[in-house]
């Protein structure tokens, strides 16, 4: 059996973990949520909950992963002495499989749109941004299935190359470029007339708009924004060396996540305010509203292409972690199996994801439960598998793992923060996750 993979540097670990956390949710869900729940008021609640809830959970997953240094379907049994607790990791395994199956649909849409926009720039396709009709495009099986296949193939190609040559190298390239492209878009939108109204909307906390509903949604956003609950962060931390500072890494990732969310708001709200549009949920923002917004800007097609590329990078850095969790658990520390296993899992993900891809076209008539096939896959992941997995992980670590062992995983503690962190893990976070669970169901 080959030796377990390891990150080459702390920078690689941080960028890869940040890439896992900074997905499409940070770039399109945060602006929509902020637009829906009062701008600066939502931002303030998001910051508070991310620090008080997200950070302790992230440190928990990092501590367990670094301490166990093995695949997650063995790590709970190894650290607690109760092998039956390994079933928790299989919940995470199933969760990310379901997520990757419908997440790749959105990745495929980005690739299709990017193809059309590049075709416009190079005068291959005789259309304009306003000609991109979202519903028409996603109902075309050839476009969306091809886009999904390309997105999964890109993810698979990176994961097949391993931790250092694949995940780490890709993250070191895509994460800086994502930040650079996002800053370019922010500079452009802040130069628009009326941009300051958008900035004021994002940063001015209107306390009167804070209510129980907005607090619960901010809590949910802070929880899901850091890619927690699937044991994916445990997998990444299991590749970290024993002397890698996990708490520093966790704080760095937290700051990066918050910064990207704020930059996304600065990239979108000034443009929306200038041209009189409202933030729409998820896909509607990226594929319907933003093409209309950028078309009204000078060199708008170029800037929209840049926007699509940064969204593609965000989607890929997250999808890499989704595939990696399954590959890690099925190769069981034997890297000789990695290329084959990555390919096999990717093919299965593609097959399972095709019905979700076609649920906006030929299979749109199939409606049940939460809606379309795509909607039901999203519901199962977000409302059931993710909160159940997160709650089970927190309870197992807080109650089945010896406190002294968990303290060893916490690392150096000059500020004597372990006791406070342990109280959060054992008593507060299970209640918070239950609240998020109830919110998602309702």
pLDDT tens-place string over residues 21-65: 887 777 878 888 888 888 888 899 999 989 988 899 999 999 999
What is the arithmetic mean of pLDDT over 284-309? 85
What is the arithmetic mean of pLDDT over 364-381? 90
- Predicted TM-score (pTM) of the model is 0.91
What is the arithmetic mean of pLDDT over 91-115? 93
87: pLDDT confidence band, cut at 50, 70 and 90?
very high
418: pLDDT confidence band, cut at 50, 70 and 90?
very high
Residue 412 has pLDDT above 90, yes or no: no
198: pLDDT confidence band, cut at 50, 70 and 90?
confident
Q: What angle do CA 243, 244, 248 make, to 5 degrees?
A: 130
Half-sphere exposure of 340 (CA within 13 A, CB side): 6
Residue 17 has pLDDT above 80, yes or no: yes
Distance CA 261, CA 35 (A): 13
* Residue (of 440, 76, 6) closest to 224 by Cα position: 440
Lowest mean pLDDT among 32-36, 72-76, 134-138: 32-36
Q: 280 vs 382, which has greater pLDDT?
A: 382
What are 434's two structure tokens? 């239950």
**Per-residue pLDDT, 322:** 92
Q: What percent of the chain has pLDDT over 90?
A: 48
**Per-residue pLDDT, 3:** 65
Lowest mean pLDDT among 277-281, 392-396, 432-436: 277-281
The answer to whether 301 and 114 have CB atoms below 8 angstroms apart is: no
Residue 387 Cα distances to 280, 436, 441, angstroms: 25, 7, 10
Residue 75 has pLDDT above 80, yes or no: yes
149-166 pLDDT tens trace: 999 999 999 999 999 899
Residue 355 has pLDDT above 90, yes or no: yes
Average pLDDT in the chain: 88
Distance CA 81, CA 7 (A): 27
**Per-residue pLDDT, 420:** 92
Residue 1 has pLDDT above 50, yes or no: no
333: pLDDT confidence band, cut at 50, 70 and 90?
confident
**Per-residue pLDDT, 440:** 67
**Residue 348 burial (C-beta neighbours within 10 Å; 0-12, 13-18, 19+):** middle
229 in the Ramachandran plot: left (φ > 0), alpha (ψ -120 to 50) or beta? left
Domains and CATH numbers, the chain: 10-440 (1.10.4160)
**Per-residue pLDDT, 86:** 92
Helices (H) and strands (E) in the chain, counts: 23, 0
Residue 410 has pLDDT above 90, yes or no: no
**Per-residue pLDDT, 366:** 93
What is the arithmetic mean of pLDDT over 99-123? 91
215-264 pLDDT tens trace: 888 887 887 777 788 888 999 999 988 888 888 999 999 999 999 989 98
């Amino acid at each position: 059996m080959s030796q377990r993979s390891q990150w080459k540097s702390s920078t690689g670990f941080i960028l890869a973990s940040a890439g896992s956390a900074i997905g499409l949710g940070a770039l399109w869900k945060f602006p929509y949520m902020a637009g829906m729940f009062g701008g600066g008021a939502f931002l303030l609640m998001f910051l508070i909950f991310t620090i008080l809830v997200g950070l302790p959970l992230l440190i928990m997953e990092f501590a367990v992963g670094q301490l166990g240094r093995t695949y997650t379907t063995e790590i709970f049994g190894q650290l607690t002495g109760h092998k039956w607790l390994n079933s928790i990791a299989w919940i995470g395994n199933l969760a990310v499989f379901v997520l990757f199956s419908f997440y790749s649909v959105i990745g495929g849409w980005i690739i299709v749109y990017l193809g059309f926009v590049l075709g416009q720039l190079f005068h291959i396709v005789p259309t304009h941004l306003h000609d991109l009709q979202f519903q028409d495009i996603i109902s075309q099986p050839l476009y969306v299935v091809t886009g999904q296949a390309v997105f999964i193939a890109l993810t698979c190609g990176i994961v097949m190359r391993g931790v250092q040559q694949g995940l780490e190298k890709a993250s070191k390239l895509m994460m800086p470029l994502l930040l650079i492209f996002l800053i370019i878009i922010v500079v452009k939108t802040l130069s628009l007339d009326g941009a300051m109204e958008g900035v004021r909307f994002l940063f001015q906390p209107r306390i009167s708009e804070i209510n129980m509903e907005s607090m619960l949604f901010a809590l949910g956003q802070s929880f899901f924004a850091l890619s927690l609950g699937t044991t994916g962060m445990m997998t990444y931390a299991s590749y970290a060396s024993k002397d890698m500072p996990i708490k520093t890494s966790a704080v760095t990732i937290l700051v990066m996540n918050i910064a990207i969310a704020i930059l996304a708001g600065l990239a979108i709200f000034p443009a929306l305010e200038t041209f009189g549009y409202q933030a729409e949920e998820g896909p509607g923002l990226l594929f319907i509203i933003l093409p209309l917004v950028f078309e009204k800007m000078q060199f708008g097609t170029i800037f929209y292409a840049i926007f699509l590329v940064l969204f593609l990078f965000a989607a890929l850095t997250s999808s890499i972690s989704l595939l990696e969790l399954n590959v890690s658990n099925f190769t069981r520390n034997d890297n000789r199996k990695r290329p084959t296993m990555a390919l096999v899992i990717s093919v299965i993900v593609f097959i399972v994801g095709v019905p979700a891809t076609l649920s906006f076209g030929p299979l749109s008539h199939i409606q049940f439960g939460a809606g379309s096939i795509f909607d039901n896959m999203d519901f199962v992941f977000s409302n059931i598998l993710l909160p159940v997995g997160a709650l089970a992980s927190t309870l197992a670590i807080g109650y089945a793992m010896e406190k002294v062992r968990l303290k060893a995983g916490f690392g150096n503690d000059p500020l004597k923060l372990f006791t406070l962190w342990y109280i959060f893990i054992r008593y507060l976070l299970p209640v918070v996750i239950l609240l998020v669970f109830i919110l998602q169901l309702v």
